């Protein structure tokens, strides 16, 4: 086999190994909250004619297990054929889910909170055009040792009528992992509180260090190519 051909194969190997490492790394750090969902939502008071308000929450959020912090996107929509008029959105937390901040919104006084709520914010949405929507970035904390819920009422600007209410709908998991960097929670799932104690997750398989995903992928590609090169060399000799 010529040196030029060997050089070309080696160059291809380097490129393939680098690509594998990049793909694995990008997959590992992806943070996708999933599609929006209106799960747990229902109409309450009759909205003005031609107005159809609704809300959506992400189907999945992720809780940092060291800080207990999480981020949630809350969206209010007008699926009707007419402008909504002035409306407001409330973002309310229950149980293990506490809302700490909503961009562009004001915290509710304790006396304004619904029964059982621990936190809440009022967001002046204004008027939504037909088919229009507005999203809010919600900062919250989540205690994996408890069950947590969130509620999104859409009201008239004075708060006297509630046209739509999503929740209180739970975020949770049936398999909490407090010793991992983060725990994913699914919308509409009752949280099974994490058991206290334990510094490490159970170890399985062969004891010892494990290669990082990127390094392992590159090693497998290199091993496979070495076998291919050896086979070709034997055929040519």
Residue 79 lies in a domain: yes
Query: And the tokens for 164?
Result: 């739509």
Task: Report the pLDDT value the prediction gives residue 177, as an integer from 0 to 100.
Answer: 82
Residue 200 lies in a domain: no
Give me the helices (H) in 30-184, please: none
Task: Report the pLDDT value the prediction gives residue 1, as an integer from 0 to 100.
Answer: 56
62 and 22 both lie in a single domain: no
**Coil/strand/helix, residue 99:** strand
**Residue 160 and residue 174 in contact, taking contact as beta carbons nearer than 8 Å:** no
114 and 182 both lie in a single domain: yes
Residue 211 lies in a domain: no
Residue 168 lies in a domain: yes
Positions in the chain whose pLDDT score sits under 70: 1-35, 196-237
101 and 131 both lie in a single domain: yes
Residue 53 lies in a domain: yes
Work out the number of other CB atoms within 10 angstroms of the CB of residue 37: 18
93 and 104 both lie in a single domain: yes
Question: Domain with 103 in it: what CATH number?
Answer: 2.60.40.10
Residue 216 lies in a domain: no
136 and 26 both lie in a single domain: no
Cis peptide before 21 (omega within 30 of 0): no
| CA angle (34, 37, 40) in 5-degree steps | 140
15 and 50 both lie in a single domain: no
23 and 43 both lie in a single domain: no
95 and 174 both lie in a single domain: yes
183 and 166 both lie in a single domain: yes
122 and 136 both lie in a single domain: yes
Residue 141 lies in a domain: yes
Domain count for the chain? 2
Three-state secondary structure along 133-149? EEEEEEEEEECCCCCEE
Question: Cα torsion for 44, 108, 136, 171, to the nearest 10°?
Answer: -70
56 and 108 both lie in a single domain: yes
Residue 105 lies in a domain: yes
Alpha carbons 6 and 78: distance in angstroms, whole number = 63
Domain membership of residue 26 as a residue range: 1-30
17 and 112 both lie in a single domain: no
């Amino acid at each position: 086999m010529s040196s030029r051909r060997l050089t070309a194969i080696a160059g291809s190997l380097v490129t393939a190994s680098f690509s594998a490492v990049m793909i694995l790394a990008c997959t590992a750090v992806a943070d996708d909250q999933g599609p929006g969902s209106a799960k747990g939502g229902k109409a309450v008071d009759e909205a003005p004619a031609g107005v159809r308000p609704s809300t959506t929450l992400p189907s999945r959020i992720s809780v940092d297990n060291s800080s207990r912090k999480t981020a949630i996107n809350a969206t209010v929509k007008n699926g009707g054929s007419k402008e909504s008029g002035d409306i407001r959105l409330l973002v309310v937390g229950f149980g293990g889910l506490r809302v700490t901040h909503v961009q562009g919104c004001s915290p509710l006084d304790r006396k304004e909170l619904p029964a059982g709520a621990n936190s809440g914010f009022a967001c002046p949405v204004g008027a939504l055009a037909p088919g229009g929507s507005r999203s809010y970035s919600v900062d919250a904390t989540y205690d994996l040792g408890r069950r947590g819920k969130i509620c999104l009422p859409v009201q008239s600007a004075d708060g006297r009528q509630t046209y739509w209410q999503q929740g209180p709908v739970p975020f949770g998991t049936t398999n909490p992992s407090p010793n991992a960097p983060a725990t994913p929670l699914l919308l509409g799932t009752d949280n099974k509180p994490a058991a206290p104690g334990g510094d490490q997750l159970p170890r399985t398989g062969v004891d010892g260090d494990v290669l990082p995903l990127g390094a392992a992928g590159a090693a497998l590609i290199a091993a496979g190519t070495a076998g291919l090169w050896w086979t070709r060399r034997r055929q040519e000799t």
